[in-house]
Structure 1
Amino acid sequence: MAVDRDQVLRSAAALLTRKSTATMDEVAKAAGLSRATLHRHFAGRDALVRALESLGIAECEAALDAARPDEGPAADAVRRLVRELQPSAALLAFLYTENQLFEGERQNEGWERLDARLTALFRRGQERGEFRIDLTPAWLTEALYGLLASGAWSVSEGRVARNDFTHMIAELLLGGALRKE
């Protein structure tokens, strides 16, 4: 029986976003696999998390492409971006808590690409006078990641309606970032 790696990753992501401490046995069960089959594809939790990281980065890059961050007002681009990121937000929330992904020499270059693109969006908003200049583009990028993670957790816990995700995150971020006349 052929194993659909993408489906295994999506099953693992769904479980780990609800229960970040899930064991490999629990991941295998959620994916409908034996533990041995899971281990043939992912040698351990670190390998699985690294594969999820690659998936998360790819989904973020696709969301950025779809959001067209260079078009129109930067605030509108941020709103489009949050809307495009919503389907991946739970996976990003899980990855956000995996500190080993952001430490040392094994850091995936994809995060730097994402950071550069997001920072450029916020910088464009500053240069056009839309966003405050006392908040650095790097800080606005980190704030966006944090709000996405918090929003995903709130939706998964039922504290926020899924349909309110985009509005609540974009407006909270922009409420602090927009330049007041």
Structure 2
Amino acid sequence: MTETASPRRPRKDAAANRAGLLSAAARTLAIDPSASVDTIARAAGLSRRALYGHFDDRDALLRELIASGAQRFNAIAGELEVELDPAPVVLARLTGRLWGEASHVQVAAAIALDERHVEDSAAALAPLRRTLMGLVRRGQDDGTLRTDVAAPTLARLIEETARTVLVRLDASSPEARSLVVRSVLSIAGLSWREAESLIAAHPDVVAAS
């Protein structure tokens, strides 16, 4: 009786190269969303040919980055105890914790600016977006968030504000997390004084993870 050989596991160096390419792509694209395959490969210390040995093309690489980042973001949203605090506090906490994944957040934001990947990003981030929509509706219902725009529009404004700030800030800046949180709270309808009071009462929203 002939035994069927078990599938060979990827060599360790191949797995390391793939991980290195993803890491290099995240760093490179966070700075330059239009970075070429050659630029990404060089940043990983590999050749263009080596990159194509792992990914069919640039879009395949981006799709994997989107999926990887989305898993992290959706997990953060799923860990929040949404009903225990007022909507603005949960919104600030969600923003701060997402910033804790700064490198992944920035590359996801950069990729999302590429219209070719809008649908991929939207599908991958559906759980996070549902959490945000729930927060907006709850905040509007109890009057803690602005009500002059419809909930879907406000949720989109919050998302776009966060993305715009994220791609323009230096992730290493100690003020970055606070600025992102304040920007989101502002577009959600809080005055700067209300945002300051919220952060003073809940310092964990801007504390490093």
The TM-score bracket by the shorter chain reads 0.7 to 0.9
Alignment match of 2:130 (pick from 107, 116, 130): 116
Deviations 1:127-147 (A, max 9, x none): 222112222222222222222
After TM superposition, list the pairs within 5 Å mapping 1:1-181 onto structure 2.
Answer: 1-4=13-16, 5-86=18-99, 87=102, 88-103=104-119, 109-156=123-170, 162-178=173-189
Pairwise CA distance, 1:24: 0.7
Q: Distance in 2 between matches of 1:107 and 1:63?
A: 16
- Deviation of the 1:12 alpha carbon: 0.4
CA deviation vs aligned residue, 1:126-179 (integer Å, no higher than 9, x gap) = 2222112222222222222222222222223xxx97222232232233234337
Does the CA-based 8 Å contact 2:22-2:65 persist in structure 1? yes
Unaligned residue ranges in structure 1 (runs of 5+): none
CA drift of 1:39 comes to 0.8
Identity of aligned residues (%): 26
Distance 1:121 1:24 in 2: 39
- Number of equivalent positions: 175
**Given the superposition, is the C-alpha separation of residues 40 and 78 from structure 1 closer, same or farther in structure 2, using an over 3 Å criterion?**
same
Deviation of the 1:77 alpha carbon:
0.7
For residues 12 and 60 of structure 1, what CA distance do their matches in structure 2 show? Answer: 18
Cα–Cα, structure 1 residues 107 and 78, in superposed 2: closer, same or farther, change >3 Å?
closer
TM-score (norm 1): 0.83
Distance 1:68 1:155 in 2: 28
Which runs of 5 or more residues in structure 2 are unaligned? 1-12, 192-209
- The answer on whether the counterparts of 2:24 and 2:43 sit within 8 Å (CA) in structure 1 is yes
